[in-house]
């Protein structure tokens, strides 16, 4: 008997609480959409007061960054105000009877947790709140294949393949297509980049490589052709470089000798006048050559 009374009391209090607050019902708690499509985010509410001061605020919290919610659209004083970022893409559907919104031309960046907050003064008891999680799927974008490293025999090379976006997380594969097809081990660097490392490359590693990126919505590929050249002795590039620097050194030496000699001749001609044959004498006098370094 005592328990029953207690339960009844609880029921009455909760009913009173409900009557004194806006009640929000989300007809769905998670929604999936393919990038580019429109999606309706449903939010119904129940209130006892007239709707003249109805206030609705929709916010979005990115799943990747739960601490930075942003405003999506607001209904206040009978007017809808869209966030400038979503201008022209978001609208209320049936306001003030419902708080549902439509989001057009969805992007993967629209994914997140959407919160519908409804208050209706003078109805007391705080606003009603509901949440719905939106996932935006996208096929892989065109991947970019790159290679870096040393493609001479014995060197190591890394092939990388990266996509800008793909939701859900894509599967990546590296294969060699020529001369015979074989699949190769891939190292994932995050979810959107896969690399293939080849150590001690030889001519057998030359050929056409393909990276395939796929998820439930699509598949994309990129290709890379690797040429491994054998290096017997110093490579031609190194030899040319050495020859070039040797030539440069010789030219510089010749130039400085010429400058030295010119400075002598000028000084000598001031000191001794321009006598015939003096240049030759001066030029070969060791003591005078030393003087120019002072
Ligand atoms: C969203 O798209 C629907 C259908 O194409 C269109 O009727 C509606 O006006 C669009 N809403 C916004 C806010 O662009
Ligand atoms: C590199 O490959 C060559 C032949 O392919 C082999 O003889 C050599 O031992 C390898 N070197 C290393 C460090 O694995």
Query: What is the pLDDT averaged over residues 217-228?
Result: 95
**What is the Å distance from ligand 1's center to 209 Cα?**
44
Question: Which atom of ligand 2 lies at the shortest distance from residue 199's CA?
Answer: 14
- Best of 72, 90, 91, 93 for a ligand 1 pocket test (most atoms within 8 Å of beta carbon): 91
Question: Which atom of ligand 2 lies at the shortest distance from residue 200's CA?
Answer: 1
Within 8 A by CB and 6+ apart from 100, the residues are: 40, 41, 42, 43, 44, 92, 93, 94
pLDDT of residue 11: 44
**Among protein residues, the one whose CA lies closest to atom 11 of ligand 2:** 200
Mean pLDDT over the full length of the chain: 81
pLDDT of residue 231: 66
Each residue of 241-293: pLDDT tens digit? Answer: 455 565 565 556 666 666 666 665 544 444 443 333 333 333 333 443 344 34
Query: What is the pLDDT averaged over residues 202-218?
Result: 95
Closest ligand to Cα 93: 1
**Among protein residues, the one whose CA lies closest to atom 6 of ligand 1:** 104
CB-based contact 53:75 (threshold 8 Å): no
| Architecture of domain 144-226 in this structure | Sandwich (2.60)
Which residues line ligand 1 at a C-beta cut-off of 6 Å? 38, 88-91, 102, 104
Least confident window among 51-55, 63-67, 99-103, 159-163: 63-67
Residue percentage of the chain with pLDDT more than 90 = 62
202 lines ligand 2 (CB under 6 A): yes
Question: Distance between CA atoms of 15 and 17, rounded to whole angstroms?
Answer: 5
Each residue of 56-98: pLDDT tens digit? Answer: 999 999 988 889 999 999 999 999 999 999 999 999 999 899 9
Higher pLDDT, 215 or 279: 215
Residue 294: pLDDT band with limits 50, 70, 90: very low
pLDDT of residue 122: 87
Higher pLDDT, 288 or 229: 229
CATH 2.60.40.10 domain span(s) along the chain: 21-137, 144-226
CATH topology of domain 21-137: Immunoglobulin-like (2.60.40)
Helix (H) or strand (E) holding 31: strand 30-34
pLDDT of residue 264: 58
């Amino acid at each position: 008997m005592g328990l029953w009374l207690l339960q009844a009391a609880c029921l009455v209090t909760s009913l009173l609480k409900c009557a004194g607050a806006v009640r929000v019902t989300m007809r769905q708690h998670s929604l999936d959409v393919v990038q580019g499509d429109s999606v309706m985010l449903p939010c119904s509410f129940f209130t006892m007061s007239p709707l003249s001061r109805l206030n609705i605020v929709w916010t979005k919290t990115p799943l990747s960054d739960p601490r930075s919610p942003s405003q999506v659209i607001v209904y206040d004083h009978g007017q809808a105000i869209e966030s400038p970022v979503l201008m022209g893409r978001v609208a209320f559907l049936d306001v003030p009877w419902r708080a549902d919104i439509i989001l057009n031309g969805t992007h993967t960046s629209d994914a997140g947790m959407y919160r519908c907050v409804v208050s209706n003064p003078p109805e007391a008891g705080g606003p009603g709140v509901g949440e719905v999680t939106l996932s935006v799927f996208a096929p892989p974008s065109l991947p970019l294949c790159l290679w870096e490293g040393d493609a001479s025999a014995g060197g190591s090379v890394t092939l990388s393949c990266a996509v800008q976006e793909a939701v859900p997380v894509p599967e990546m594969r590296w294969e060699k297509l020529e001369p015979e097809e074989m699949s190769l081990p891939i190292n994932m660097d995050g979810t959107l980049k896969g690399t293939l490392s080849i150590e001690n490359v030889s001519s057998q590693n030359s050929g056409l490589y393909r990276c395939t990126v796929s998820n439930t919505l699509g598949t994309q590929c990129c290709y890379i052709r690797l040429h491994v050249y054998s290096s017997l002795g110093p490579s031609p590039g190194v030899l040319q470089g050495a020859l070039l620097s040797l030539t440069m050194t010789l030219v510089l030496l010749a130039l400085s000798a010429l400058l030295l000699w010119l400075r002598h001749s000028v000084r000598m001609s001031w000191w001794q006048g321009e006598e015939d044959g003096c240049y030759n004498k001066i030029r070969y006098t060791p003591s005078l050559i030393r003087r120019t370094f002072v």
